[in-house]
Amino acid sequence: MSSITNIYQQYSGLSKSAYVIFFARVVTSMGAFIWPLLTLILSRKIGYSASTIAILYATIGIIFIPANILGGKLADRYSRKKIIIIFDLISVSFFIACGFTEPGNLMVVFFVIAGLFANMEGPAFEALLADSTKPHEREKVYSLSYLGHNLGFIVGAAVGGMLFENYLNIAFIIDALTTLSSTILIILFVKVLKTSDLKEDERNEYEDHADEDTTAVDILKTRKPIFVQLIVFMFAALIYDQWAFLVLLYMENIYLEKGAQYFGYLASFNGFVVIVFTPILTSIFRKTHELPKVIIGLLLFSFSYLIIRDTALYPLFFVMMFIFTIGEIINMLGAAPYISRRVPASHRGRINSYRNIVHFIGGVGGRVLMGWIIDTYSYSAAFITLACIGGVVALIVLYNYRLDKKAFPKLYEKQVRYE
């Protein structure tokens, strides 16, 4: 019992803002069940064909890329809390409008506008998380935030499923109100930490503000490991997103009409493993540098796909998902705080917007690539391809680890502060 207590005690003593962000994530994720239901809303409620839905998703993605860049620039130029407040209020207004609109084209327009401003707020929120927490506590802060997201999402997914059929309008309104509630929490209780607020041994000089004339591209040129890692994030997204695309298609192929149901159980298991093992793995890997965590995570969730290659044994899918999720958690513990410690606070919004964009490109590109491999070759070839890509990307991270030590030596000298 004491060991379990110690695992959760690691989250004690963090900045107050970390706990506020945790609860805000729980609240937001509890109400965020509209996006997962979007395909069903478009097909069953509105009657769009599969091809129309695909075109709509592509259009949304094309619109969201420049919007994300703009959101990043605004987050670096103006108060991040104000950006979050303004964009959230706009997003919430259009979500509520969806709740009073019959399913149809107008609802889609309102929904896309709501999503657009929610997307533009993303870089500001990610930057604020770093702004309001100390450099040495970032792993635990991101771990706690990740835990909050999954705790809320599990509840939200169940509620969304119950409301979808007969109370879709209420689902939109709940989504809006939970978002508004989390925004109020952030407004009232999240405090941005100034460099002067930190003790000398808590400071990280790489987060100091850069000159106003310095662009985000200049940052990437002078801090090359960050650029390399953005490429890694793109391929990591390509690999990671296949659990909800390739694995789902594969299960529908071998289990036919039961495929979606079996996949639902698998997805719930993923959430369960995240909640149970995130605190444990955070404690176990607390002394490990960020990039070695990324390597371990990449290898685990890449090669987990090989477990289900050429098999129809359902229990093996749970073995695969367990290993995949452990890799997902370890990768998150390394990748999430990486950018925050190496980018000047003045440029966090823009760099985070780039990260969101490469993640989108990797996810969409991966689905196109895997779809082509399935049609041209086989599911087996697709799983092997993912494992190979994961191995190559892990080698790139290993190379970048050496570059990172040279570019940011003081982060490695102060590792004792990150325990």
pLDDT tens for each residue of 362-374: 988 888 888 889 8
Average pLDDT over residues 41-45: 76
Q: Is the pLDDT of residue 33 over 80?
A: no
What is the pLDDT at residue 196?
A: 67
- pLDDT above 90 (res 184): no
Q: Report residue 288's pLDDT band, with 50, 70 and 90 as the boundaries.
A: very high
Q: What is the mean pLDDT of the chain?
A: 85
Position of tokens 């509840």? Answer: 155
Instruction: Report CA-CA distances (Å) from 130 to 207, 218, 219, 295, 412.
Output: 10, 21, 18, 23, 19
Counting Cα atoms < 13 Å in the Cβ hemisphere of 215 gives 5
Query: pLDDT at residue 60 above 90?
Result: no
Q: What does the pLDDT look like over 192-246, one tens digit per residue?
A: 877 767 777 778 788 888 787 888 899 999 999 999 999 999 999 999 988 878 8
CB neighbours (10 Å) of residue 60?
Answer: 16
Rounded CA separation 202/99 (Å): 47
- CATH architecture of the domain covering 16-192: Up-down Bundle (1.20)
**Cα separation of 341 and 345, whole Å?**
9
What integer is the mean pLDDT of 331-348? 90
Q: Is the pLDDT of residue 298 over 80?
A: yes
pLDDT at 248 over 70: yes
Range with the largest mean pLDDT of 66-75, 177-186, 315-324: 315-324
Per-residue pLDDT, 417:
46
Chain-centre distance for alpha carbon 291: 17
Mean pLDDT of 58-87: 86
pLDDT of 190 > 80? The answer is yes
Show the CA angle centred on residue 330, arms to residues 126 and 26, nearest 5°: 45
H helices of 104-245, where?
105-131, 138-164, 168-189, 216-222, 224-240
Confidence grade of residue 354 (pLDDT, cut at 50, 70, 90): very high
Does the pLDDT of residue 416 top 50, yes or no?
Answer: no
Residue 128 has pLDDT above 70, yes or no: yes
**Domain segments of the chain as ranges:** 16-192, 209-419
In the predicted structure, residue 395 carries a pLDDT above the cut 90: yes
Arithmetic mean of pLDDT, 111-139: 84
Identify which has the larger pLDDT, 30 or 150.
150
Amino acid 23: pLDDT: 84
Say whether pLDDT at 2 is over 60. no
Out of 15-19, 32-36, 270-274, 403-407, pick the least confident.
Answer: 32-36
Q: How much is the pLDDT for 418?
A: 46
Q: What is the pLDDT of residue 419?
A: 45
- Residue-level pLDDT at 414: 58
> From CA 383, how far away is CA 250, in angstroms rounded?
10
- Residue 194: the pLDDT is 75
The H or E element spanning position 411 is: helix 409-413
Q: How would residue 39 be classed by pLDDT, with cut points 50, 70 and 90? A: low
pLDDT at 142 over 90: no
16-192 and 209-419 have identical folds = yes
> How many other C-beta atoms are found inside a 10 Å radius of the C-beta of residue 175?
26
- Topology of the domain comprising 209-419: Growth Hormone; Chain: A; (1.20.1250)
Q: Is the pLDDT of residue 15 over 90?
A: no
Indicate if the pLDDT at residue 40 is higher than 80. Answer: no
Q: What is the pTM of this model?
A: 0.85
Supply 3's token pair.
């060991």
